[in-house]
Amino acid sequence: DEAFKDAANTLTGEVIIGGQEHFYLENQACIVVPGEYGTCVVHSSTQHTTEVQSLVAEVLGVPFNHVTCICKRMGGGFGGKETQAAQPAMMAAIVARHTGRAARFVYNKDDDMRFTGKRHPFKTLYKVAFDDEGVITGLDLTLHANGGCSTDLTLAIQERAMLHSDNAYFIPNKRIRARAVKTNLPSNTAFRGFGGPQGIAAMEAIIEDVAAHLGLDSLDVRQRNCYGVTDRNTTHYGQLVGNNTLPRLLHEVRAESDYDARREEIARHNKTDKLTLRGLSVVPIKFGISFTRRTLNQANALVNIYVDGSVLVSTGATEMGQGVNTRIRQIVADELGVGYASVRVTETNTDKNNNTSPTAASSGTDLNGNAALVACVAIRERLATIAAKLLHDNAEGLMWEPTAIKFRRGKVWDVRRPSVQVNFQQVVCEAYNQRVSLGERGHYTTPGVDFNRDTGKGHPFYYYTMGVACAEVSIDRFTGELKVPRVDLIMDAGLPINPGIDRGQIIGGFIQGQGWCTTEELKYAPNGTLLSYSPTTYKIPNVSDIPEVFNVRMLTNPDNHMSIKRSKALGEPPLMLGLAVWTAVKDALNQRAGEIVPIQLPATGEAIAMAMAKTTDSSSGRLIPSPGMAGSTRSAAD
């Protein structure tokens, strides 16, 4: 309140943020096979095998140990199979119980879109205080989330939206409220980013509005408000922003995208070109990695070595195309010093991995990879003792020293005597002959994660993943059609475990975020019936929507000591960089009008045309109507 009393400038406004359909290519699907004594096996396309197991058991009235849930892999998930995969599994389980026969339940695409929840639409009201340089001194936010017919994960999603509503910026005085709204829609649910995108979208809209109000460049405003490295680096919930690469990312993208020269050229273009309108914007992101529910930050893994030297790994992570099994396979192979081909990651199974957390919150590799690592270290220590005996039986003057034993490329040796080596399989066989265990269960808990909901203070995240994107847009002044000619993106991935997978996650996440911001509009009838329930009416990004020039680079950051192998989680963070396309649209519209122009998210061609129809072209001073609007009068309902 004091910040607003003393403010040189204040603004109020609202940000309308639409939902998003998951559009996984494999719809919700399951098969339930009944067994003896009231048991059953559920093969489910799910991100959370334990939840499917527990809810099927509940609906059948049996203990959890009577239900086994197996997930081989999914044809996409994006959060839509975290809780909602349980519904078809429960229905199929009831049929299997009453018929005594296997039951299969699969939604078709139209029904899947009608029945399942989406990303939560948000309506955010803001009041912001700032000085003449655009430095924000106070921010008051109220976040309204459309939860649908039940809360499901709405409260947790709103919590993450509140925690991410600062995004990359230090704001000394902040008040945030969140309200869940009940509506006559299917219960909205988890979606890649889990509330973070909605919180960040509101913050980035505010930055653009502040810049437009003051007539400043929005990138300058972002850099002035950015979290610092040695000061101005504590969040509104009291967590220190460690290993902060945000200032560096903003500086490097400004240089690599030739931002300042392009900004001048775009300004000239918009004053002279009557056909197209261009915009340019940079969006940084700071995304917290961990479940905000402390209990979920744990995982277990089972690692078994067979006498032929092959390795089988089972974890609670579910594979949905994001490459978690590949990463875990690499981690295990590296830790045991065997070839990648010697390791197999088996399907996720509640018989082998109990009480698992969902594969969500970008934490699949961090949690389950670490659990597998714990198991591998324990096995390797036992094998090192066996190897020391094998290697030193005929050695003179060498004492057993398991810490000197190295495992690499299928060979085992003592660093003090590298010329003498034995095969990994020999060591394994000798361990078996000596009745040494060749299997281990690993359990991992994320350290230092603790958030007090009563005080709103604490450390909800283990570390942050950061990135930045500079997007340029071109808008048809008559139709509102949007094109994205160029994007420059830099992602702080730490030291990637698998650069190819990480690059795929970055590009795929960005394009999915761009779709949410531009083309993916959910349309409902007044009674809640979804109208855009197929690819003909709901427009996910096409290959033609990929930026013609798309520069993607990973920042080299070996200083990330928090996560496994110094890598950083990349499942969700890249999606939020797609917001740069939306803020570039805001920039173009604000330039044209010479004032703040509200624009919804997604900024569809229709929404852009309507926004231009309601504002004046500042270069000509004329009101420019959109097609079909000239000389007509329409009601707000129209």
Residue 565 backbone class (left: φ over 0; alpha: ψ -120 to 50; beta: rest): left
Residue type at 404 in one-letter notation: A
Reply yes or no on whether 572 is catalytic.
yes
Roughly what angle, to the nearest 10 degrees, separates helices 579-593 and 499-518? 40
Biggest CA-to-CA distance, the chain: 100
| Whole-number Å distance between alpha carbons of 165 and 169 | 9
Asked if residues 120 and 17 have their Cβ atoms less than 8 Å apart, the reply is no
The b/e string for 172-198 (b: 16+ C-beta within 10 A; e otherwise) is ebbebebebeeeebbbbbbbbbbbbbb
Paired tokens of 439:
């299997």
Q: Residue 300 — φ and ψ, nearest 5°? A: -130, 155
Is the CB of residue 163 less than 8 Å from the CB of residue 198? no
Q: Which CA distances in Å does 494 have to 113, 332, 360?
A: 37, 20, 20
Taken as a whole, the chain contains a residue count of 638
CB 220 within 8 A of CB 115: no
Contacts of 54 (CB under 8 A, 6+ apart): 64, 67
State the distance between the two ends of the chain, measured CA to CA, in whole angstroms: 40
User: DSSP string covering 374-404, please?
Assistant: HHHHHHHHHHHHHHHHHHHTT-SS----GGG
The DSSP H or E segment spanning 471 is: strand 463-476
Q: Please tell me which residue in 82, 572, 595, 606 is annotated as part of the active site.
A: 572
Pairwise CA distance, residues 450 & 447, whole Å: 9
Distance, in Å, from the CA atom of 521 to the CA atom of 538, rounded to the nearest integer, reads 7
Phi then psi for residue 267, to 5 deg, are: -60, -40
- Tally of CB atoms within 10 A around 156: 18
Nearest alpha carbon to residue 313 among 285, 340, 346: 346
3-class DSSP string for 324-369: HHHHHHHHHHHHHCCCHHHEEECCEECCCCCCCCCCCCCCHHHHHH
- Residue whose tokens read 């849930």: 69
Bridge partner list, 16:
123
Residue positions annotated with a catalytic role? 572
